[in-house]
Amino acid sequence: MNAVPKNIEAVQGAPLLRVDSLTKWYGHVVGCRDVSFELRAGEVLGVVGESGSGKTTLLNCISGKLAPSSGAVEFETSRFGLADIYSLSEPDRRRMQREEWGFVHQNPRDGLRMRVSGGANVAEPLMNLNNRHYGKMRQATIDWLERVELDTRRIDDKPRNFSGGMQQRIQVARNLIHGPRLVFMDEPTGGLDVSVQARLLDLLRELVRDLDLAVIIVTHDMAVARLMADRLLVMKGGDVVETGLTDQVLDDPQHPYSQLLVSSVLQI
């Protein structure tokens, strides 16, 4: 890919995403408090923690869905350079989200249009980017269905006719087809049985490496974190209690809560 030199430069130079003292209050309940980190191109950041620890609040704030109470989220946009996403005008922000980001929901029903076919779901981001050639979009859709290992003969089936794992694959294809630079994933393997989970994780890992994507993945599953993430944020009660390289955090957890989290993984 011709984007390689740029990416190397990006890794060495400025971050793709910079989050600075991000805080979100729900009235006087804290969602997440004083979170700061940087993310570079090609890097996968895992956010782990128990239910209610603020993982999803953090993800929603960073992905432009939920305005934070204070703090900044800066993204290296292709049109405006490094910019606070909440200081962009709404049309500019929506356009940036469309062009440069992807968001994989836990439940494919939230991320897909259930009334239109799987193929149209995958092609929609292309149409949103002003692609108006049916044949080319059709071919791109077929290529991507192959890439996520779906039967291309089922391209025109409705999402409800696919199994949960297949729906999730459609969602992954839909969120990668337009060549985003940053993808958010909220428990992408959440509702799937373990064998399907393993295959999907394998696929995601491969795609992330091939496309040199920056990914923020929220999960409560330590195995997913271990497989996917380069770095981890451990959250508890809205605070980040520990950060570090994935292997470092999981093999030698320092904070009592991280220790509890790691030790509570079931062994068989």
In the complex, the residues that contact other proteins under the rule CB under 8 A are 90-91, 94-95, 98, 113, 115-117, 119-120, 123-124, 127-130, 132-135, 137-138, 155-156
Minimum distance from residue 247 beta carbon to other proteins (Å)? 42
Minimum distance from residue 231 beta carbon to other proteins (Å)? 34
Task: Of 74, 75, 61, 64, give the one whose Cα is nearest residue 30.
Answer: 61
> Quick one: 124 or 242, whose CB is closer to other proteins?
124
> Quick one: 103 or 257, whose CB is closer to other proteins?
103
> Quick one: 44 or 140, whose CB is closer to other proteins?
140
Minimum distance from residue 95 beta carbon to other proteins (Å)? 8
Are residues 24 and 57 in contact, defined by beta-carbon separation less than 8 angstroms? yes
Tokens of residue 261, six digits: 């989290």
- Report which secondary-structure segment, H or E, holds 107: none
Instruction: Tell me the sheet residues that pair with 231.
Output: 45, 245
> Quick one: 9 or 143, whose CB is closer to other proteins?
143
> Quick one: 94 or 160, whose CB is closer to other proteins?
94
Cβ neighbors of 203 (< 8 A, separation 6 or more) are 148, 149, 169, 172
Helices (H) and strands (E) in the chain, counts: 11, 10
Cβ neighbours around 31 below 10 Å, total = 20
Instruction: Tell me the sheet residues that pair with 75.
Output: 17, 83
Task: Of 133, 40, 45, give the one whose Cα is nearest residue 82.
Answer: 40
Instruction: Tell me the sheet residues that pair with 76.
Output: 82
Minimum distance from residue 149 beta carbon to other proteins (Å)? 21
> Quick one: 129 or 265, whose CB is closer to other proteins?
129
Minimum distance from residue 176 beta carbon to other proteins (Å)? 17
- Rounded CA gap, 222 and 64, in Å? 26
Minimum distance from residue 160 beta carbon to other proteins (Å)? 15
